[in-house]
Amino acid sequence: MSKFPLAGITVADFTWIGAGSYTTKILADFGADVIKIESTERIDTLRDAKPFQGGIRGLNRSGYFADRNSSKRSVTLNLKSEEGRKLAREIIAKSDVVANNFTPGTMEKFGLGYEAVREFKKDLVYISMSMHGQTGPESKYLGYGLTMGAVTGLHHLCGRPELDPAGTGTNFPDHVPNPAHSAFAILAALRHRRRTGVGQFIDVAQIEPTIALLGPAVLNYTANGVVAGRVGNQHITAAPHGVYPTRGEDRWIAISAPTEAAWSALTKVLEHPALGQDARFRTSVGRWEHREALDALLSTITAGHDAEPLAMQLQHSGVAAAPVHDAADVLRDPQLQARGHWVYLEHPEMGRTVYNALPFRMSRTPGYPNRPAPLLGEHTDEVLKSMLGLKPNEIEALRSQGALQ
């Protein structure tokens, strides 16, 4: 662990569900000691989220929770009790970072808001990741990835133009923009602290990193007054660009040929006379203007091919193409396996389980999941002994008082 770039950094992690947990997973996989503060009375709802290992429901059996909480330690505290809050303050006093993604005011109710804890931990980096941030008329609104996608305009852009907004199929803000921006902010604040000795408060409004995904749509309106709409799989300026059926049940291929060179290569691989002879498709402008007819023709051609070999043949010819993979395909993808993306760890209850590695490789200071996701409260005694110096009889007394639950 000493070789990991964040070794020596301790995080008091009050986050739960998606974006917050993924943010602190990044830190944990890079070697930070992330102590997840949980409660048996108010369970992280991700612990009760499918899929469950072996199809057996349990608070320690969620694959979703496991992947978002690799490399962490779990401590259960009753923050409604004074003793539980006292222990939380003691853990914070020994930490470098505090993270939460609650609605503004929640941490303050427990006496654990930034202004309260900085009184005894001046150099603390404290990040709050609420939906709308700490200020503004909607700061107290409750939000999840679904509502963030809606209010930022992301859902308005997702789906087919003739149908209702489809969303992203998952809470996309939880998985990419918010954890990535938040982890970056924490690292920047830690660097500032190293240089100056001064900590700071980081206020992340999760709608704002999500809006960063929508640059072209925002610019199209500010520059041209045009409100962008849904285009499905099509490209706004080029064709062909879409997903087409292939041989087999629910098997598809994605193809994008926006340039003349790519179009020429595509026609040679598919060897269908209409692609080269139809006057509508001779120019890039014509292909885009008649993209619906082109997509219909391509669909009839690709339906007679297998997705994997066709994609490989197109790639070798200079055409961007890929089979549409399902989860089973992704797990056995040779490229991901060659890069060591999938990490298998032995979980105390689920056994050998798979985790996502960090989505980049650092040559000198690598990071990767270094322990499986924790059982609920698995490390309570360990943390109280090693971090706070409590004796076994003191821990049992706290447990009997209801402080450790």
Residues annotated as catalytic are 174
Instruction: Enter the tokens of residue 298.
Output: 């391509």
For 244, counting Cβ atoms within 10 Å of its Cβ (0-12 exposed, 13-18 middle, 19+ buried), the class is buried
Task: Work out the number of other CB atoms within 10 angstroms of the CB of residue 363.
Answer: 5
Instruction: Enter the tokens of residue 200.
Output: 């700071």
* Cα–Cα distance, 97 to 128 (Å, whole number): 11
For 106, counting Cβ atoms within 10 Å of its Cβ (0-12 exposed, 13-18 middle, 19+ buried), the class is middle
Residue 147 to residues 22, 172, 210: CA-CA distances in angstroms? 18, 11, 11
Query: Which of these, 231, 369, 341, 347, lies nearest to 295 by C-alpha position?
Result: 231
For 285, counting Cβ atoms within 10 Å of its Cβ (0-12 exposed, 13-18 middle, 19+ buried), the class is exposed
Alpha helices in 118-166 (DSSP H): 145-151
Task: Assess contact for 34 and 13: CB atoms under 8 A.
Answer: yes
Query: Which stretches does DSSP call E strand in 206-319?
Result: 241-245, 252-256
* Cα–Cα distance, 1 to 54 (Å, whole number): 31
Residue 96 to residues 8, 118, 261: CA-CA distances in angstroms? 9, 11, 54
* Cα–Cα distance, 67 to 342 (Å, whole number): 11
Q: What residues does 127 pair with on adjacent strands?
A: 99, 202
